[in-house]
Structure 1
Amino acid sequence: MAVWLRSARKFRRCSLMNFPNKQIWARANASAGTATRVLTAAVLIPAVVALVWWGSTWLVAALGGLVALLALREFFSLGGRLNLQGYRWWTSLCALWIFFQQWSVSAAQSYQVGRNLRLTQAPALVPELPLELVFFVFLLGCAATVFALRRPLTDALGDIGISSAGLVFIVLPLSAVVRIHALDVLGPKLLLFALLLVWVGDTLAYFVGRSFGRMPMAAQLSPKKTWEGAAANLLGSAIVGVALFGWLNIDAFQAVLMACLANVAGQAGDLLKSAYKRGAGVKDSGTLLPGHGGILDRIDALILAAPVVWYYFRFLLASRF
């Protein structure tokens, strides 16, 4: 054993002498990380595109609910580092209720885009319940849990707060993807538009920020984010708007403006997630996606971008009959 240890130390010293430049190792590790990131994206992106384009809205809602549960799991894991446990099972159940509600209450609506294209949503399968009722029932459940466990309210407020934050900052905005996809004819296109403006923007921000980033954007939250990367992110989304306005059958200016507003919201979501991770003292929210971190790391921009696309279309592009 002693001989083996001496040989191992000698080999290590020789290796360090042969490769003295730490920058070489850093570049090699960065290249390996980029390759892993690209490989993961190459697997996931076609699968997501196929789901959106060929899948039914109930399948989008079901898988969207699953993604929300995984994101909540990471969210609560980060909260645990801050001594905030939350009511995980009850919050997850209410999250699924929100996605089911968004799928089932696509009330019969008509929209007109431009002069010719008319869109309808399928009739509701169950009576429409306002989302305020979902949150009211959620808070009642939290109160009942506190009473059943006989916990002091001062101890329970933090857990109620983080559980509420999970629904407000993750589940509710992310469920907008269901409302978008439910639109007949245009729904899958509009959802792909929302996904592409996030993906293209993130990709340009990643490579431009790494190569040319000099001015930190929010060093206290995310040291690697730069204004150059943020500008590239915005430019990427604008390019998506220019490229797809004809496919969406909407005005070019409206498509670009919608893409840019969604991008700004998405970058805000990214910074919000970074602030939360910073407080928890971690770099990534999880390890489920090699090269990307966790689910929350991957959907942080979409969480706030999707509602912008949905409400922009609903209130500024569509005329209801």
Structure 2
Amino acid sequence: MALNPVVFKTRALTALVFILVMACGLFIDQWSFFLLFTFIHFGCWTEYQKLVGIIDPDYKQIMGIHRYGVMLFGWGFMMWMTNDAYLVGNLQLSEIGWWLMLILAFTMPVAEIVLSRHLNLKNIGYSLSGLVYISLCWGLMMDLRSEGILIFGNLFTLDLGWVLPVVMIAAIWINDTMAYMVGSVIGKTPFSSISPKKTWEGTLGGAILAVATVTLLGYFAFGMTDYITLIVISASAAIAGTTGDLFESKLKRMAGVKDSGNIMPGHGGFLDRFDSLLFTTPVVWLYVKLFL
């Protein structure tokens, strides 16, 4: 297939902007990280509600207090998962998040009953699933980011909170790239009917190369001596990340759409870009809490 210069230019420019935005959000400080994932959180929610509305048109009829309230509740959870490094004046961001969740937990059901005169349990189930799929994961991401911010009284603050998220994102990118390259060269056996382009050869080859690349680079190039953690994170990116990609592909197939959105021309939407990270984050979070 001949290369289309216009399409290539669009994809390249979009990728460049995406990389710059991600780099700024990840590396500037904890607030840029929070703003980045706030943007991603609401973007994922918008696309999730659109997909579910296509799959089940009844979900399109939910009221504004339900549609936006559940997004804000999830955002409140993200705030609640931050630590003392996130201060708004004399108020901790986690306290703001707690009160936002508490207020919405009472007002949303009351508004639903008063305005619609009944609770649609099916639509509530879709929204609760969205909270688990999207908001829980980004809340855990904020907790991982906060864990690495070490505050030494009034002396100084050591911020290493960006390390785990960056390693996760790098591992996912390497896994996807390697899986595509290996699959293109030797891929023959279909991996799943949900995503026909994936092959067993590409999936396994990508996973092995991702674990090897992340571990060796982290250990020898960046002096990260905890190679076990590097192996766990890269393996999680390969296994959980691939599962997340298949889950989102299933949603799109049920909705009959190619991309979850068009925020990034040539690359799809928020869920298309972050589906793997949504599934990888809880696995890495559990590992950190249980073993680190």
Larger radius of gyration: 1
* Residue in structure 2 matched with residue 275 of structure 1 by the alignment: 250
Q: Distance in 1 between matches of 2:15 and 2:162?
A: 20
Residue 157 of structure 1, CA deviation: 1.8
* Residue in structure 2 matched with residue 94 of structure 1 by the alignment: 73
* Residue in structure 2 matched with residue 215 of structure 1 by the alignment: 189
In structure 2, stretches of 5+ residues that fail to align are 150-158
Q: 2:53 aligns with which of 80, 85, 88?
A: 80
* Residue in structure 1 matched with residue 204 of structure 2 by the alignment: 231
Q: Distance in 2 between matches of 1:166 and 1:290?
A: 25
* Residue in structure 1 matched with residue 24 of structure 2 by the alignment: 50
Shift in alpha-carbon separation, 1:77–1:149, aligned structure 2, 3 A: same
* Residue in structure 2 matched with residue 159 of structure 1 by the alignment: 123
The alignment of Structure 1 onto Structure 2 pairs a total of residues equal to 271
Normalising by the residue count of structure 2, what TM-score does the alignment of the two structures yield?
0.80
Residue 56 of structure 1, CA deviation: 1.7
Q: Distance in 2 between matches of 1:158 and 1:240?
A: 42
Q: Distance in 2 between matches of 1:299 and 1:151?
A: 37
Instruction: Using the aligned pairs only, state the percent identity.
Output: 30
Shift in alpha-carbon separation, 1:126–1:77, aligned structure 2, 3 A: closer
Instruction: State whether structure 2 residue 290 is matched by structure 1 residue 290.
Output: no
Residue 306 of structure 1, CA deviation: 2.1
Residue identity in the other structure for 1:162: Y
* Residue in structure 1 matched with residue 142 of structure 2 by the alignment: 178
Does the aligned pair in 2 maintain the 1:64–1:99 contact within 8 Å?
A: no
SS at match of 1:187: coil
Q: 2:132 aligns with which of 152, 155, 168?
A: 168
- 1:149-201 deviations in whole A, cap 9, x for unaligned? 23444xx1222111111111011112322222221343212221111001111
Shift in alpha-carbon separation, 1:169–1:287, aligned structure 2, 3 A: same
* Residue in structure 2 matched with residue 121 of structure 1 by the alignment: none
Residue 105 of structure 1, CA deviation: 5.9
- 1:195-228 deviations in whole A, cap 9, x for unaligned? 1001111122233334433221111x22222222
Residue 81 of structure 1, CA deviation: 0.7
Q: 2:229 aligns with which of 247, 250, 254?
A: 254
Provide the aligned C-alpha RMSD in A. Answer: 3.0
Does the aligned pair in 1 maintain the 2:240–2:276 contact within 8 Å?
A: yes
Q: Distance in 2 between matches of 1:66 and 1:164?
A: 20
Alignment of 1:62-81 (within 5 A): 62-81=35-54
SS at match of 1:293: coil
Residue 293 of structure 1, CA deviation: 0.7
Does the aligned pair in 1 maintain the 2:260–2:272 contact within 8 Å?
A: yes
SS at match of 1:282: coil
Instruction: State whether structure 2 residue 103 is matched by structure 1 residue 103.
Output: no
* Residue in structure 1 matched with residue 284 of structure 2 by the alignment: 309
Alignment of 1:23-34 (within 5 A): 27-28=1-2
Residue 296 of structure 1, CA deviation: 0.6
Higher-RCO chain (CA-CA 8 Å, sequence separation at least 6):
1
Q: Distance in 1 between matches of 2:118 and 2:29?
A: 46
Q: Mean alpha-carbon deviation: is it higher for 44-53 or for 134-143?
A: 134-143
Residue 281 of structure 1, CA deviation: 1.1
Q: Distance in 2 between matches of 1:196 and 1:140?
A: 40
SS at match of 1:306: helix
